[in-house]
Chain A
């Protein structure tokens, strides 16, 4: 057995892969060969650390030094300085790591210090393509324990006591769901996983699948045992090629080790897993549509009840959970429900993974205990808002959720507080918006998404959201009419009441929640034809400041529609508003910053 004195973990999740992680990996191996260090330093493929904005990332153990934003040329320096001479290359370290020669573990870095990684426990720490490394970090111990020491009912009991709630959106108690599926009587039952992560900006599930695919395989086998199913399906979107590849590999490895298939661990329990690829339709993230799609039909929802736990896949009882929910199961089995209930708030236990994006410095993935405030997420973990801007609002739950305004920044985040605020946990997309964001435009953006993704089965969603989008577009273009806001409210109410599936019923949420907190912005658009945030282009007037203008004529020369008039060196130029198409070219071109939008 080869023991290495250092391990270099190259993050090869989707984020870092798109930033040349593979080239870095190859260069690292080449440099180590060059310096004859291949016997001392091990290069490992790892999953996502969550520091996606700073990628590609490389972590070197035992120091736990995080190098980020690497270029291929930097690799040589790291190998010569750090791995050969032992001097950490400070200029390449991730922002707030002040790693010196002292012990430095990931937990000491500000970005990780406030986090509690349960679902992401192995992401970025083990090689996701190696079942042995998963085993070493307590992998498949929970499955072994369940199969050899526990009755199915005991497993469900542990989950119920842990008070784990579904991490996919609505937060239904997981143990109760398992109990329903277990109690349903049938010869054939199924266990399914929803890995069809469709919210714009959300990538929690992808990172778990890429960084720790075995945790899902293990949890689904546990679920199969608990509810009495011998067949499982993972529904994953084809747009996640790395995740699909690693999941396939994980399933193969598990079969090879006898952890999937027939007579698992000689206990007589059979469980088989299959992957189903989705084409990336948002509606297939809705549970009934997802199951319909697995059956090979067009992905359209159907009314509930009957719920999938009673009548799901091919009419049989089916347990369906989200990736992150499953990822929580093995640690709960191993550490017991009491350990889990210590984390979190009164009614929301454990942690939640958020994909933090938008106007924030550390764009990426964080896992925080329930009850952490938005302020901690933004300022202590997220590194604050770029360019010294003010925080305005955060959108949670994607197109089904709502916004949390700055006035509620100190609210502890859990399932119930978010619902009270008119938002929702959702799958965990967290989009941070600064003062320059127009809330009407944000609502319009999400509605555009829903209209695009509506499956068209029920009229409230198909037609209703379309009408809402038309009104919103009108408002942001300065053609809003008196009464538009009220029309939006009526439509929203009707769609919520009448749409067929959860996605349709929640589609008006972005409008309702922005109306709740930012009604004045809507009114400013409609009545004064002004966008207070200065984001809606149609409502802006580009003006040349006569005092600053040197009448050089560069703006007029570059204007694509000849909307700027004036004569060189003879007094300031003027923009003819009727002709102006608000493209912003003149602002960029003016050498004296004399043109601005207001």
Chain B
């Protein structure tokens, strides 16, 4: 027999596992995974995101994939969409940069400017 506290524990744990079917207002990390992205190393980048989020218990952040955006030379490209809908595009990503984005952008809300497309393209 389970106690009320135990039930609550199961509830919490399971919700973490299946929360992505429920949460709509959270960060969304979109990794470009077309041929160009995959060739440039998008898979390890995405796995790094999943791993890092798991490590930090950030279960309400979604990691999804998308196709080619058209700037294939800057792949792997990752877009981070905030709950308010604003979007930051990171380019030439690698697993280390992914870890940084989670720590700085997702957790602390500070955009990693040096990794963004604006920086890479010299737009000030």
Contact = CB atoms under 8 A, between A and B. Distances in A.
A86 B67 CA distance: 6
Contacts of A125: 21-22
Contact of A136 (B15, B33, B47): B15
Contacts of B35: 85
Nearest to A126: B18
B50 A85 contact: no
Nearest to A262: B1
Secondary structure at the A interface, as helix, strand, loop or mixed, is loop
A20 B22 CA distance: 27
Contacts of B24: 103, 105
Interface string B74-109: 000000000000000000000000000000000000
A84 B11 contact: no
A271 to B, nearest CB: 13
Interface residues of A, number: 40
A135 B33 contact: no
Interface stretch (A2-10, A24-32, A319-327, A427-435): A2-10
B3 A62 contact: no
A135 B11 contact: yes
Interface string B22-65: 11100010111111001000000011001001100001001111
Nearest to B47: A40
Contact of B14 (A9, A61, A136, A259): A136
A87 interface: yes
Interface string A1-19: 1111111010000000000
Contact of A103 (B11, B28, B65): B28
B20 interface: yes
B13 interface: yes
Contact of A135 (B10, B16, B31): B10
Given A133-B14, A135-B10, A85 B21 contact: no
A4 B47 CA distance: 11
A135 B7 CA distance: 8
Given A3-B54, A148-B4, A257-B7, A137 B65 contact: no
Nearest to A131: B10
Contact of A85 (B1, B18, B67): B67
Contacts of A139: 11
Instruction: Categorize the interface residue count of chain B.
Output: 35 or more
A1 B17 contact: yes
A7 B10 contact: no
B13 A1 contact: yes
A103 B83 CA distance: 11
Contact of B67 (A4, A62, A101): A101
Contact of B50 (A5, A86, A135, A141): A5
A6 B18 CA distance: 9
A132 interface: yes
Contacts of A140: 7
Contact of A144 (B4, B13, B14, B23): B4
A265 B20 CA distance: 29
Most buried by B among A1, A126, A136, A141: A136
A266 interface: yes
A257 B2 contact: yes
A131 to B, nearest CB: 8
Given A2-B17, A7-B21, A136 B11 contact: yes
Contacts of A132: 10, 13-14
Nearest to A107: B24
Most buried by A among B14, B34, B38, B50: B14
Contacts of A84: 33
Nearest to A144: B4
A428 B64 CA distance: 39
Contacts of A5: 20, 46, 50, 62-64
A86 B31 contact: yes
Contacts of B33: 84-86
Contacts of B30: 86, 101
A8 to B, nearest CB: 11
Nearest to B25: A103
A386 interface: no
Contact of B22 (A87, A137, A257): A137
A541 interface: no
A87 B68 CA distance: 9
A584 interface: no
Interface in A109-125: 125
Contact of A258 (B1, B20, B62): B1
Contacts of A4: 17, 20
A489 interface: no
A252 interface: no
A22 interface: no
25 contacts: A1-B16, A3-B53, A3-B54, A4-B17, A5-B50, A40-B50, A61-B20, A62-B64, A85-B34, A86-B64, A86-B66, A86-B67, A87-B65, A87-B67, A101-B30, A103-B28, A125-B21, A125-B22, A133-B14, A135-B14, A136-B14, A138-B11, A141-B11, A261-B1, A266-B3
Interface of A: 1-7, 9, 40, 61-63, 84-87, 101, 103, 105, 125-126, 130, 132-133, 135-141, 144, 148, 257-259, 261, 263, 265-266
Interface of B: 1-4, 7, 10-18, 20-24, 28, 30-35, 38, 46-47, 50, 53-54, 59, 62-67
Given A105-B24, A139-B11, 13 more contacts: A4-B17, A40-B50, A85-B33, A85-B34, A86-B64, A86-B67, A101-B67, A133-B14, A135-B7, A136-B12, A136-B17, A258-B2, A265-B3
